[in-house]
Structure 1
């Protein structure tokens, strides 16, 4: 079972913690991660695109000219899709892009993503952030002390409001509550920082179960 050194926000060692093999030690399932991330991104689409068909465009009730004898092509309406100002053929309409993804697949994808980050040594655990007041400068110093580089995902508990306010203005940091932990955000960031309270286990709390 892999273990990670727990650190304080100043970078000092505060013991070690074993990473749960069921969450951080499995073989990443790439196809499942791909399918789950695709579904997540699809669900973000607004789906509000809308254009008018020939039945919805204003006008065009009268036949432009008689059927025969003019030398021109037959036409029954000025709102035909081939006319300027006409309707749109096969017009896009509002729709939902959401995909149904089984819960077991979502949980497997999240465990795969966390295992991939753990295998690379990019899972960090801090005992607690310990900010008395919101401090962006303090947040930068804490991440540097932990050795968290690149894009960083910080996972906080719901009541850790001061830490949230400290990290939220950093461009390369994404902050989530533990109940919002998901495959896409783990994969899109270079490393993940948990607190001792938010570190997932195989016997989930209510928050960690919601995250999976």
Structure 2
């Protein structure tokens, strides 16, 4: 299926207000599923704190002496009340603090994101809007109604530029809507979203940033 080289820009009323060019390197890439899986898995692993900890036998409080003599009681021999089979004893092979992060090259991260954005583009699930028509005052109701007309999917990712505080305040409390700045866009948030909605300013900044990164390589 051919990918369009341009995409319509919608205004606050949902009508065409212009168009933007879609660089092939970002929006016409092949979606490499194993690569996307690896990058998303690494991202989720890096989000884990890794602070889990249980106490072993040597870390539990309690006497180290034998609770009763070795023979003659008819009971199983025991060496300490801190042994795992006793209440309050140590945990066998319990979790210890560790770092779950995985090394993921920047080129792999960029390729996974491009593949996902290209997939959304081919499915007509990528949208660019001039603005949400909010003016100077945040309005969750206005943002909800606008998104319902623009993005038909249940889960929507809204991408804005860092100066657009009004849009952030308007959409951040909407159910099934996640908002990011354009320099925070990542594979996980795209893969769990049905539709991706860019503001025009965020789209231009994202493309410019990716193009600058490609030139610096």
The two structures share one fold, judged by TM-score above 0.5: yes
2:207 to 170, 195, 201: 201
**How does 1:2-17 map onto structure 2 within 5 Å?**
2-17=5-20
**SS at 2:36's partner residue?**
helix
Cα displacement (A) at 1:68: 3.6
Cα displacement (A) at 1:202: 6.6
Cα displacement (A) at 1:131: 1.8
CA contact (8 A) 1:8 1:14 kept: yes
Cα displacement (A) at 1:180: 0.8
Cα displacement (A) at 1:103: 1.0
**How does 1:177-188 map onto structure 2 within 5 Å?**
177-188=181-192
Please name the residue that 2:38 is paired with: 35
Where is the helix percentage greater, Structure 1 or Structure 2?
A: 2
Counterpart Cα distance in 1 of 2:50 and 2:151: 41
Please name the residue that 2:155 is paired with: 151
Q: Give RMSD over aligned pairs.
A: 2.0
**How does 1:49-128 map onto structure 2 within 5 Å?**
49-128=52-131
Please name the residue that 1:45 is paired with: 48
**SS at 1:204's partner residue?**
helix
Cα displacement (A) at 1:148: 4.0
1:162 to 147, 162, 166: 166
Shift of the 141–65 alpha-carbon distance from structure 1 to 2, 3 Å rule, reads closer
1:158-204 Cα shifts (integer Å, max 9, x gaps): 01001111111110211001111000100101010112222232763
Shift of the 151–49 alpha-carbon distance from structure 1 to 2, 3 Å rule, reads same
Counterpart Cα distance in 1 of 2:45 and 2:151: 34
CA contact (8 A) 1:168 1:174 kept: yes
TM-score by length of 2: 0.88
Cα displacement (A) at 1:94: 2.1
Cα displacement (A) at 1:61: 1.6
Counterpart Cα distance in 2 of 1:87 and 1:139: 54
2:24 to 21, 25, 47: 21
CA contact (8 A) 2:82 2:88 kept: yes
Q: Which runs of 5+ in 1 are unaligned?
A: none
Counterpart Cα distance in 1 of 2:181 and 2:198: 10
Counterpart Cα distance in 1 of 2:69 and 2:76: 10
Report how many residues are paired.
208
**SS at 1:41's partner residue?**
helix
Q: Which runs of 5+ in 2 are unaligned?
A: none
Cα displacement (A) at 1:16: 1.6
Counterpart Cα distance in 1 of 2:132 and 2:161: 11
